[in-house]
Amino acid sequence: MPVSTVPSASRRHPLRWFAVGLVALAMLLGGCLTPTGQPPAPRVYASMAARAEAQVAVLDQVWSQIDRRFYDPAFNGADWATARERYREAAAGAASEEELYDVLNEMLEELGDAHTVALTPLESWEDQQAQRAFVGVNIERIEGQWIVVELRPGGAAAEAGIQPGWIVVARDGEPLSEAGVTFNNEPGQTYTWTFRDLENRERDVALTARTLPDWMPPAEWHAKEGWVYLRFDEFEPDYQNWLRTRLRANRKAPGIVLDLRQNAGGAVSSLERVITDFFPKRVAYGAFVSRKGRRDEERSAWLGGVGYEGALVVLIGPGSASSAEILAHVFKHYDRAVLVGRPTAGVVVASQFFRLRDGGELQIGTYDYESMDGTRLEGNGVAPDIEVERTLADVRAGRDPDLDAAVDWLRATVRPAARETTRH
């Protein structure tokens, strides 16, 4: 079954479970992705009446697909039976493609499912290229504020001198919502962001969106004690192959810190291979449950795993979602790793994509996930074994308390065992 999620800073889903071979992460090699073909041109209508008719037809298609395929026949308590009529007038009167999809996504939000979202034709095209328009700031909710926690390579924010620890106040004059943020960037479009800098001075900074790869590059570094830090942000073949290569190269490392704090999920086939890399044999990892209640028991991949047996610490947080949450749950269930950080996002259902008549796409949560102990991760997430508070002061000082806690655990757990082995 496919597993995926929607990142908090975009309504678009960056992963495509049925096209796992399409993503070519050239950024791992220091390059960038080159789109194939041209982005779709905006549709032209003969009249306002023709536009209204076409847009209502898209609304009808979205409503019907959800009515047939959404994983919960009770629609998570939403009044889905009346939704089509309640949103029909707004869909007919939308003045642009973007406005239409705002209406569609407002309707879909009633389902309360992060895996169910409508993508415009342009967003769908960008999705297939594994890249999109960014201004280059990654933000996180800390101490009740949106904080810049890292900058994307090649983005306008880094060039403008924005730093981790700046507080995000507004975008184009609109304050950022406490519950979540949705940014629809257009390549070449300039947006005015309002920040409070490290001296708490308010600044307006004009940032122009650029087309960049979807995900941050993976990362690896080695501690003097021999432990290895590995970060990857997506369950897709190129990332998964990178992780496997690095695990093989560091098979004898006494401990590994696996950073999933910005991993928003991805293809279940890659998840199954990653699980195999940390276990000596195949293991069960839960079940996917269909709308009709059919349970599909799932297991990790058959062959080819590294089977790394050293100590393992996994960093998790609210940016860990979907497949990343399943992996964390599996590690916890089998007592394979210690989890450090904060609870995960709690967005764990399987989803599929369906083409819409105007060239857009509809992502639908089609299967629920049942954990190894029979509970739902959806809405609940995975709790860490060692909970760590991350503060604004930590970000501004360049401290990583999660990593510090992981290192403390390794020092307390791994080194004494290593010395004892040496004496024998």
Give the rounded percent of residues in the chain with a pLDDT score beyond 90.
73
More confident residue, 6 or 120: 120
The predicted structure's pLDDT at residue 37: 67
- pLDDT tier at 316 (50, 70, 90 boundaries)? very high
Q: Is the pLDDT of residue 325 over 70?
A: yes
Nearest-10 crossing angle of helices 48-69, 80-93: 160
The predicted structure's pLDDT at residue 58: 97
Q: Is the pLDDT of residue 33 over 70?
A: no
Give the rounded percent of residues in the chain with a pLDDT score beyond 70.
88
- pLDDT tier at 167 (50, 70, 90 boundaries)? very high
Q: Is the pLDDT of residue 272 over 50?
A: yes
Q: Is the pLDDT of residue 422 over 70?
A: no
The predicted structure's pLDDT at residue 126: 77
CA distance 122 to 104: 15
The predicted structure's pLDDT at residue 181: 64
Q: Is the pLDDT of residue 321 over 50?
A: yes
pLDDT per residue as tens digits for the range 354-387: 999 999 999 999 999 999 998 889 999 999 999 9
Query: Parallel, antiparallel, or unpaired for β 311-316 and 219-222?
Result: unpaired
| Mean of pLDDT values over 400-410 | 96
- pLDDT tier at 182 (50, 70, 90 boundaries)? low
- pLDDT tier at 180 (50, 70, 90 boundaries)? low
Q: Is the pLDDT of residue 77 over 60?
A: yes
Rg (CA), the chain: 22
Q: Is the pLDDT of residue 262 over 80?
A: yes
For residues 256 and 226, the answer to whether their CB atoms sit within 8 Å is: no
pLDDT per residue as tens digits for the range 119-162: 999 888 877 776 778 899 999 899 999 999 999 999 999 999 99
Reduce the secondary structure of 25-56 to three states and give it as a string: CHHHHCCCCCCCCCCCCCCCCCCHHHHHHHHH
- pLDDT tier at 212 (50, 70, 90 boundaries)? confident
Question: Residue type for 197, please?
Answer: D
Return mean pLDDT, the chain.
Answer: 86
The predicted structure's pLDDT at residue 416: 43
Q: Which long-range contacts (CB under 8 A, 24 or more apart) does 28-32 make?
A: 28/217, 28/218, 28/238, 28/242, 32/131, 32/154, 32/212, 32/213
- pLDDT tier at 24 (50, 70, 90 boundaries)? very low
- The full set of domains in the chain, from first to last, is 1-33+43-130+215-424 (3.90.226.10), 131-213 (2.30.42.10)
The predicted structure's pLDDT at residue 17: 24
For residues 246 and 302, the answer to whether their CB atoms sit within 8 Å is: no
| Mean of pLDDT values over 215-234 | 92
Place of tokens 């690896």: 220
Of the listed ranges 151-165, 179-193, 235-249, the least confidently predicted one is 179-193
Q: Is the pLDDT of residue 19 over 50?
A: no
Q: Is the pLDDT of residue 28 over 60?
A: no
- pLDDT tier at 23 (50, 70, 90 boundaries)? very low
Output the pTM of the full model: 0.83
The predicted structure's pLDDT at residue 29: 25
Question: Angle 295-300-301 (CA atoms, 0-180°, nearest 5)?
Answer: 125
Question: Angle 145-151-157 (CA atoms, 0-180°, nearest 5)?
Answer: 90
Question: Residue type for 395, please?
Answer: V
Q: Which two three-digit tokens encode residue 35?
A: 């789109």
More confident residue, 177 or 195: 195
